[in-house]
Amino acid sequence: MPYFVCARDGAGQIILKRNTREAAEKKAAELRDMGCFEVEIIAKGVEKAA
């Protein structure tokens, strides 16, 4: 399941894709340390056609 790390900085919005929850949490922490705000992780389920 892909995870999207969304954040904002002074220039605009950042959206990064990570394959694991752990990688997404690590990147979110790095973005907070760099001064980004409104950092959140969004999990997207894989949709399958019927």
Every domain of the chain and the residues it spans? 3-43
The pLDDT of residue 44:
86
Question: What's the mean pLDDT in 13-34?
Answer: 96
pLDDT band at 41 (very low <50, low <70, confident <90, very high): very high
The CB density around residue 19, as the number of other CB atoms within 10 Å, is: 10
More confident of the two residues 47 and 12:
12
The pLDDT of residue 1:
83
Return the minimum-mean-pLDDT range out of 20-24, 26-30, 46-50.
46-50
User: Which contiguous run of DSSP H or E holds residue 27?
Assistant: helix 21-33
- Whether the full predicted model's pTM is greater than 0.85, yes or no, is no
